[in-house]
């Protein structure tokens, strides 16, 4: 399972319909949080995201992306948390997040570690890695890519039975690439296992103007989550503030050859009326949706169905 829950989809300030930036990514029972705008802990409760997370990744340190940290840490403490919490962010993380942590602490019995990151860093985490991607936002800013390791090829049980391989441990050995012996006959993995299958790739842009680094990181991604602060009528404002329009986000998705694009970080002027943004993006990249608070996006393996990422809405 790999799902994203959009906890906050507004840019700069909350609106009645939208909270500020936060995305929860849940994968195989683990939860990662990307950005933590004000009120994130309430959004987590509202949309059923558990508090058993140990890693929060910040894209940059504009207030709408990190002011939820003190409240979340305080909630953790009141719940009796003991596990370490690690906060990742670009240059300035020690100063900004350190101050935010102090606001939330009151002798809580758990450790908070701050880890400063830079573009090009890779954090290997078992069968996946978090890659740090340069963003273009006029200061220290990054995006993140979650890239799964290559998976084993598909095992053919019918062919195994036809070759006389008994179901059980020998199947597991063959699937892992080992050669086994059955009644004096060697059976090799290549006889029963298909080619390796790619893992999934999810990219979260953070706040950024369109940039080549994000295109490179998102090449072939199953899902690209890209900011779309403005529509075409505000493209000059987007240039001034180092943000993207919906159309520009779609151009990034098209250039990268991604399967699905989700637009987020919308200016308050589009809080309700998102049809125009969607239309502008879909002219360039049809497989686009506009996020809303509480929306849940499932990212299946590309080999299932038509290989596109499914999108389902959570209850509100």
258-299 pLDDT per residue, tens: 999 999 999 999 999 999 999 999 999 999 999 999 999 999
Whole-prediction pTM value?
Answer: 0.91
Which of 64, 136, 207, 222 is flagged as catalytic?
Answer: 64
CA 22 to chain centre: 10
The token pair that represents 66 in the structure block: 């990190």
Residues 267 and 212 both lie in one domain = yes
The total domain count for the chain is: 2
Residues 300 and 166 both lie in one domain = no
Residues 122 and 263 both lie in one domain = yes
Residues 162 and 125 both lie in one domain = no
Strands 261-264 and 223-227, bridge-based pairing: parallel
List, in order, residues 6 or more apart from 180 with CB less than 8 Å away. Answer: 165, 170, 173, 174, 186, 187
**CATH number of 206's domain:** 3.60.15.10
Span of 86-100, 190-204, 237-251, 292-306 with lowest mean pLDDT: 292-306
Residues 32 and 181 both lie in one domain = no
114-137 pLDDT per residue, tens: 999 999 999 999 999 999 999 999
Overall average pLDDT of the 159-168 stretch: 91
What pLDDT shows up at residue 222? 98
In whole angstroms, give the CA distance from residue 165 to residue 237.
Answer: 66
What pLDDT shows up at residue 89? 98
Q: Is residue 64 among the annotated active site residues? A: yes
* Residue where a domain terminates, one of 143, 174, 191: 191
In whole angstroms, give the CA distance from residue 11 to residue 18.
Answer: 9
Residues 165 and 235 both lie in one domain = no
Residues 125 and 251 both lie in one domain = yes
Overall average pLDDT of the 141-160 stretch: 94
The token pair that represents 53 in the structure block: 């997370």
Domain containing 214 equals 2-151+197-313
Residues 225 and 80 both lie in one domain = yes
Residues 175 and 304 both lie in one domain = no
Does 216 or 193 have the greater pLDDT score?
A: 216
In whole angstroms, give the CA distance from residue 136 to residue 243.
Answer: 8
């Amino acid at each position: 399972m790999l799902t994203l829950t959009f906890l906050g989809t507004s840019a700069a300030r909350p609106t009645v319909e939208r909270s500020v930036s936060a995305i929860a990514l849940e994968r195989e029972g683990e939860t990662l949080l990307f950005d933590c705008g004000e009120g994130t802990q309430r959004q987590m409760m509202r949309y059923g995201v558990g508090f058993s997370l140990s890693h929060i990744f910040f894209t940059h340190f504009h207030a709408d992306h990190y002011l939820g940290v003190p409240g979340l840490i305080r909630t953790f403490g009141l719940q009796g948390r003991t596990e370490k919490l690690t906060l990742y962010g670009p240059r300035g993380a020690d100063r900004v997040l350190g101050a935010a942590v102090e606001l939330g602490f009151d002798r809580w019995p758990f450790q908070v570690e701050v880890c400063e990151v830079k573009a090009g860093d890779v954090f290997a985490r078992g069968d996946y890695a978090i890659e740090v991607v340069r963003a273009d936002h006029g200061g220290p800013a990054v995006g993140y890519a979650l890239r799964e390791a290559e998976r084993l090829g598909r095992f053919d049980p019918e062919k195994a039975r036809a070759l006389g391989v008994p179901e059980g441990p020998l199947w597991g050995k063959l699937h892992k690439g080992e050669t086994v012996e059955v009644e004096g006959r060697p059976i090799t993995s290549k006889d029963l296992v298909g080619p390796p299958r790619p893992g999934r790739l999810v990219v979260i842009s953070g706040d950024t103007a369109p940039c080549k680094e994000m295109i490179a990181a998102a090449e072939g991604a199953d899902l690209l989550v890209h900011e779309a602060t403005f529509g075409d009528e505000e493209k000059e404002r987007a240039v001034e503030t180092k943000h993207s329009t919906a159309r520009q986000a779609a151009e990034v998705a098209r250039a990268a050859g991604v399967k699905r694009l989700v637009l987020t970080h919308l200016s308050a002027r589009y809080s309700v009326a998102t049809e125009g943004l969607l239309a502008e993006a879909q002219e360039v990249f049809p497989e686009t949706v506009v996020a809303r608070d509480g929306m849940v996006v499932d990212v299946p393996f590309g080999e299932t169905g038509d290989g596109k990422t499914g999108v389902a809405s959570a209850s509100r």
